[in-house]
Chain A
C-alpha cells in the first residue's frame, strides 16, 4: 500500500504547527521588546478599576456584592477585550511593513500568520489577566470559589478574548491601515462594553436596553466569570458565553482567512 499521500499530509500538518510556533514566537518577541505596549495596556485597566471603584463605586448599587468584587471580573473581561482589538492593529502593521507580502511569498502554512498572531495575543492576554488578578487582590478583591473555578474563570476570559481577536483580525486585514485599524477596532467595542454587565447591573438599565445587554457576548462572559469567581450559578451564563465564542470563531476564522488571501 502506498503511504506517500498520508505521509505528505502528516508532514504538511507538522510543518503547519511549526510555522504557527515560529510566527507566535516572532510576535511574542515583539511584545517583550516593546514593553511599553504591555505597560500601557496594563495601566489603562488599572485606571478603570480605580476610577470605577472609588469614583462611581459609591453611587452604584450591586446587591449582594461589594462593588470592588462586582467590578473586578468585569474589568478582567473588558481588559482582554481591548487587548484583543490589538490583533488587527498588529496585522495592519505587518501589511504596512511589507511583512505580509513576504510571508505570502514563502512556502509556509497559510493559516500560520493569523494563527500565530491570535495565539501570541492569547498569551499576552493570559499574562494581563494574571496581572489584573494581582492588582485586584491588592485593592481588596477576593476570589471566593476555590482554585478550580478561578482557573475556569481565567480560561473563559482568555477564550473570549481569543474569539474577539479573530473579529479584530478580520477588521485589520480589511482596513489594512494601522491608524484606521486602531479606531475601527475600538469604535464598536465601546458601546458593547458599556451596555453590558461589566460596570453596572443590567437591571438598572432601561428595560428596552436590558434585552440587548443580557444577550450579548460580553455580559454572558462577564456574568459567568463573576459567578465562577464569587460563587453562584455560572452554568447558563457559561453555556451562553461558550456558544457565543464558538459562533464567533465559526464565522470570523473563515472570514479572516478569506480577507488574508485577498490582501494584495
Chain B
C-alpha cells in the first residue's frame, strides 16, 4: 500500500507543478531585469535599428561532410549596414556557410564572429542579434500568420504585449493584414515567404541571413520581396544572402562573392566582376548555325580574348575592347566571307557570363 501513497504524492506534486505553470501562463512573466540582448533601446526605430559596429567576420572556415569539402578554407568579412551576396550553384557551400554563421552547424576548423559573438562559443548571444530566413519557409501551417510571428517573438523573449504589437506592425508592413488570422497553410508561396521573413524580423535582428529567399517565386512576388529587403537595408540592417540568380545578386548586393565547390573564386562589386571577363562582349547570331565555328575563327583577330562558339544556337561571343568600330569590322569580315548574319549586338557581360568564365559551368546547373 505504501507505493500507492507514493504514487499519490507524486501525482500531487505533478498537479502543483501544473498549477504553477498555469499561474505563470495567466500572468506573463515580468522577471527580466534588463531587456533581452538584441532589443534596441528605442521603441521608435522599427526595424533594423542602429547597426554601426556590427560585422560578420569569417576566417579560414572549413567544413567537410565525409569526403565532400562543403567549405574549403573560406574567409570573408561583411561591413555593417551592407549587403553581401553569396553567389553559386547548388552544392557550392552557400547554405553550409549560412548554417555555420547562424549556429545551426559547427565548423570543423576556422573562426567566425557575427555581431561581435563567436559562432561556437557565444551561440545564445549571437542568436539574439540575428534573423534567419531559410531556403524553405519555416512556418507552422496550422497556426495563423499572426500567431506564427507572435510565436517567434515570444521565443525571442519579448513580453506578450510587445510580441503582439510587433506582429501587428509587421503584418501591416508585409501586406498580410487581410490574411493575418487565416491558417498559414492557406497562404500562397509568396505570402509564405513574406510571413517567414516577417517572423525573422520580429526580434529586430541587426544581421539578417537570407538563404535563397526568392527561389521558386513568381517575378511579381520576387520583386516585392526584393523591395522589402531593400527597405530593411535602408534602415541599417546588415544582410548576407545566398542566391543562384545573377540578377538577384546584382539587384540587392553591395558586394558579391562567387563560391564554387566550397571555395571563393571571385569577389567584388557587380561592375568589378564584369570587368574580370574583359569588358564588352560582341555577340553575333548567324542565320545558318553550321557556320558558327568558321565565323568565330574569322572574327577572332578582332577580340582581346578567345571567341566562344555556341553551334546549337548559332551564336559567337567575343570579348572586345574597341566598341562600335569592332562591330562594323566584324560585320564586314563575315559579309566578305559570305556568312549570313541574323543579328549582332554589343553588350556588357552579365553575371552569367562572369560565372561561366570563372567556373566553366553555368550558375543554375547543379554540379
* Chain A residues packing against B (C-beta within 8 Å): 7, 10-11, 14-15, 17-19, 21-23, 25-26, 29-30, 33-34, 97-99, 101-108, 112, 148-149, 151-152, 155-156, 159, 224, 228, 234-236, 238-239, 242, 264
B237 is an interface residue with CB less than 8 A from chain A: no
The residues of A that contact B340 with a CB separation of less than 8 Å are none
Q: Which of B83-142 contact A (CB under 8 A)?
A: 99, 102-105, 124-125, 127-128, 130, 132, 134, 136-142
Number of A-B contacts (CB under 8 A): 128
Chain B contact patch, size range: 35 or more
Contact residue among B32, B127, B139 (Cβ-Cβ distance under 8 Å from A107): B127
The residues of A that contact B142 with a CB separation of less than 8 Å are 29-30, 33-34
CB of B7 within 8 A of CB of A155, answer: yes
Contact residue among B24, B125, B155 (Cβ-Cβ distance under 8 Å from A103): B155
The interface stretch among B146-154, B255-263, B272-280, B291-299 is B146-154
The residues of A that contact B183 with a CB separation of less than 8 Å are 33
The distance from the CB of B163 to the nearest CB of chain A, in whole angstroms, is 10
Encoded as 1 (CB less than 8 Å from any A CB) or 0, chain B from 139 to 170 comes to 11111000100011011110000000000000
The distance from the CB of B316 to the nearest CB of chain A, in whole angstroms, is 45
CB of B4 within 8 A of CB of A105, answer: no
Contact residue among A23, A104, A159 (Cβ-Cβ distance under 8 Å from B10): A159
Bound-state Cα–Cα, A235 to B137, Å: 52
The residues of B that contact A238 with a CB separation of less than 8 Å are 3-4, 6-7
The residues of B that contact A25 with a CB separation of less than 8 Å are 25
CB of B33 within 8 A of CB of A7, answer: yes
CB of A99 within 8 A of CB of B24, answer: no
Bound-state Cα–Cα, A7 to B3, Å: 39
CB of B7 within 8 A of CB of A11, answer: no
CB of B138 within 8 A of CB of A102, answer: yes
The residues of B that contact A104 with a CB separation of less than 8 Å are 103-104
CB of B4 within 8 A of CB of A99, answer: no
Contact residue among B3, B99, B151 (Cβ-Cβ distance under 8 Å from A234): B3
Bound-state Cα–Cα, A98 to B133, Å: 10
The residues of A that contact B132 with a CB separation of less than 8 Å are 101-102, 105
Bound-state Cα–Cα, A25 to B105, Å: 28
CB of B151 within 8 A of CB of A22, answer: yes
CB of A29 within 8 A of CB of B143, answer: yes
The distance from the CB of A36 to the nearest CB of chain B, in whole angstroms, is 12
Encoded as 1 (CB less than 8 Å from any A CB) or 0, chain B from 223 to 251 comes to 00000000000000000000000000000
The distance from the CB of A90 to the nearest CB of chain B, in whole angstroms, is 11
The residues of A that contact B154 with a CB separation of less than 8 Å are 18, 22
Bound-state Cα–Cα, A30 to B99, Å: 28
Bound-state Cα–Cα, A149 to B156, Å: 43
CB of A108 within 8 A of CB of B8, answer: no
The distance from the CB of B21 to the nearest CB of chain A, in whole angstroms, is 6
What residue in chain B is nearest A13 (Cβ atoms)?
A: B31
Contact residue among B21, B29, B138 (Cβ-Cβ distance under 8 Å from A101): B138
What residue in chain A is nearest B159 (Cβ atoms)?
A: A18
Bound-state Cα–Cα, A156 to B104, Å: 37
Q: Which of B1-26 contact A (CB under 8 A)?
A: 1-4, 6-8, 10-11, 14, 21, 24-25
CB of B8 within 8 A of CB of A11, answer: no
B341 is an interface residue with CB less than 8 A from chain A: no
Q: Given contacts A97-B138, A151-B11, list 17 more A-B pairs with CB under 8 A.
A: A10-B31, A15-B32, A17-B24, A18-B29, A29-B143, A33-B183, A101-B134, A104-B103, A105-B102, A105-B103, A105-B130, A106-B127, A151-B8, A152-B7, A155-B10, A155-B11, A228-B4
The distance from the CB of B174 to the nearest CB of chain A, in whole angstroms, is 17
The distance from the CB of A152 to the nearest CB of chain B, in whole angstroms, is 4
Contact residue among B3, B37, B128 (Cβ-Cβ distance under 8 Å from A239): B3
What residue in chain A is nearest B136 (Cβ atoms)?
A: A98
Closest 5 interchain pairs by CB?
Answer: A98-B138, A155-B11, A107-B128, A102-B138, A235-B3
The residues of A that contact B102 with a CB separation of less than 8 Å are 105
Bound-state Cα–Cα, A102 to B209, Å: 12
Which of the listed residues A19, A22, A34, A106 has the most CB atoms from chain B within 10 Å of its own CB?
A106
Bound-state Cα–Cα, A180 to B157, Å: 34
What residue in chain B is nearest A154 (Cβ atoms)?
A: B11
B38 is an interface residue with CB less than 8 A from chain A: yes
CB of B138 within 8 A of CB of A14, answer: no
